[in-house]
Chains A and B, each alone.
Chain A
């Protein structure tokens, strides 16, 4: 993790968005700065700011050009970044840990054997390694509710599949390029599928619609197929909700 020693770059994206760029790498230090600024902006509630989108290394600040200006926002955001650390401490205190159940058994983990073969591990070792670490939600994107989780243990770092799948089943737990993710609903995808969760990660009728948000922590907990099916039935009856733990 690199310390942030310089201020961010401000890059215009047209007249309705401003990129606040802290760096150009995937890095926990940069991510912390991005999420911290998102939280400061939420608290500050600046006039004209319509929403913010945290990414690995930058925060995109969407604004109404009739209500504010890029020039004014740069000044206000610079002030917020330089401001006291209080908000940041509060944001960190509220970090949430999600324990997401994932089944890695036959039929739900189509790429597990291949991942094991490629990495020189047994499937059980892959599952144990994958479930041992707590992952950080860097950002949510690609499709609605798709979380980019990192960082994967060194032994599990693989490039994407050479041929992406046209249809990846909803709930697929996947790895690629040093990251883990869950496909919230059926969509195309090029990551390696090593398990599946019965827990819904996206519901457009819920507020907020996505389970995970940038800055959350995630731990995958292996479950047997019987438990997967039990939870899936409960989800179908709207009788299942994952709750996060507060991390001190």
Chain B
């Protein structure tokens, strides 16, 4: 029996997620998976799970405020997209995107989520080797509505145990990203128009591409409901159901768009005016209520090119980890230099 992480306090909505459950959408099973796959992949890489397959390993995703966890194992190596605050006396603070080896009995929680002053809605904690959780339909991702995956298909509760796959972390020095990624939300998400852009008036298309929308409080892992100019349908708001890709922006009768995220249904009967490109989906996943966002149209070929550039950049980051010699001093400077949020190292978070 390897050790586990004990959930002391669960946070607002903490679930195990990997890159998603693929191959079962024809049976109505949503993909689920990390809202921000970039956050998940980078945290995994820093925790020692490597670029390649390991970067998609199941990790803990937390929304708004993270959990408090206690190490119930000889030792474990972790890395997070947020500051890790180890509740020792005095407390130790590990910057985002830096690995740390924790020993039995140590408790830790998380600081403010990165992403400039507006903050990200989601954070990730990766552990070296991942969690010992049996995959359901090939994935550890939690799909709460269907009670599938993760820990009994639900968010964490106090007292839960997250079993560790490794009995002890590898013997090596701690590492961090050479520079933190810029996770600030863009002013505009790039989209490919369609598949049902021809169901909207020209005025609706113009408003969609030229006016800002605000993320409403009705935002969850299924989708972001936006409020903004009313997008009028040219010929009714019901279509015969067709398939839904992650990032599709459907517009129901209210004329207010919904950006469909990880937990979206596999099929649906509202016209979809556009689809967020895959390179910008992680940014969409980081948005939270009150954030303002616009949309810019690109071609499919441009979207694929942007995605290739993003993958090249991520690969470069994951292969270019550097030693974290003296975390308390050097990396603070690096973080400030990288324009990460203030509050990461001054204790304002948590």
Contacts and interface: CB of A to CB of B under 8 A. Distances in A.
A12 B27 CA distance: 22
A76 B218 CA distance: 41
Range class of the A interface residue count: 35 or more
B199 to A, nearest CB: 10
A157 to B, nearest CB: 16
A143 B192 contact: no
Interface string B168-198: 0000000000000000000000011011100
A71 B304 CA distance: 11
Interface string B264-293: 011110001001111000000000000000
Contacts of A13: 192, 194-195, 243-245, 248, 272, 275
Given A14-B278, A15-B277, A62 B245 contact: yes
Nearest to B298: A15
Nearest to A208: B27
B145 interface: yes
Interface string B83-113: 0000000000000000000000000000000
Contact of A145 (B27, B239, B246, B276): B27
Given A56-B241, A58-B242, A209 B137 contact: yes
A140 B26 contact: yes
B316 interface: no
A196 interface: no
A53 B148 contact: no
B275 A14 contact: yes
Interface stretch (A20-28, A83-91, A98-106, A118-126): A20-28
B25 interface: yes
B251 to A, nearest CB: 14
A15 B300 contact: yes
Contacts of A57: 240, 242
Given A16-B278, A55-B267, A142-B265, A60 B242 contact: yes
Contact of B265 (A66, A141, A207): A141
Interface residues of B, number: 47
Could you say which of A17, A202, A213 has the most chain B C-beta atoms within 10 Å of its C-beta?
A: A17
B275 A62 contact: no
Interface in B128-147: 136-137, 145-147
Given A57-B240, A139-B267, A204-B136, A16 B26 contact: no
Nearest to A59: B243
Interface in A168-206: 185, 202, 204-205
A79 B30 CA distance: 30
Contacts of A21: 195, 242
B340 to A, nearest CB: 28
Interface string B309-343: 00100000000000000000000000000000000
B246 to A, nearest CB: 7
A204 B191 CA distance: 33
Contacts, number: 156
A66 B146 CA distance: 30
A52 interface: yes
Interface in B229-255: 239-248
Which of B136, B191, B276, B278 gathers the greatest number of chain A CB atoms within 10 Å?
A: B278
A159 interface: no
Residue with the highest number of chain B CB atoms closer than 10 Å, among A14, A52, A57, A213: A14
Contacts of A16: 245-247, 278
A17 B245 contact: yes
A4 to B, nearest CB: 16
Interface centre among A51, A60, A202 (most CB of B within 10 A): A60
Given A62-B25, A143-B28, A208-B27, A53 B266 contact: yes
A77 to B, nearest CB: 15
Interface string A203-228: 01101111001100000000000000
A55 B242 contact: yes
B298 to A, nearest CB: 9
A11 B275 CA distance: 11
Contacts of B243: 13, 17, 19, 53, 55, 58-60
Given A11-B194, A69-B304, A70-B300, A142 B267 contact: yes
Contact of A205 (B25, B136, B146, B265): B136
Contacts of A38: 26
Contacts of B268: 141
A55 B267 CA distance: 8
B300 A204 contact: no
A67 to B, nearest CB: 11
A51 B146 contact: no
A167 interface: no
Interface in A25-75: 25-26, 38, 50-60, 62, 65-66, 69-71
B301 interface: yes
Contact of B28 (A26, A51, A52, A141): A141
B146 A204 contact: yes
Given A58-B243, A204-B137, A19 B265 contact: no
Closest 3 CB pairs of A and B: A60-B243, A14-B275, A141-B267
Interface of A: 11-17, 19, 21, 24-26, 38, 50-60, 62, 65-66, 69-71, 139-146, 148, 185, 202, 204-205, 207-210, 213-214
29 contacts: A11-B196, A12-B194, A13-B194, A13-B195, A14-B277, A15-B278, A15-B303, A17-B243, A17-B275, A24-B239, A25-B240, A26-B240, A50-B23, A52-B26, A55-B242, A55-B243, A56-B242, A57-B242, A60-B242, A60-B245, A65-B278, A140-B26, A141-B241, A141-B265, A142-B267, A143-B265, A145-B28, A204-B146, A213-B26
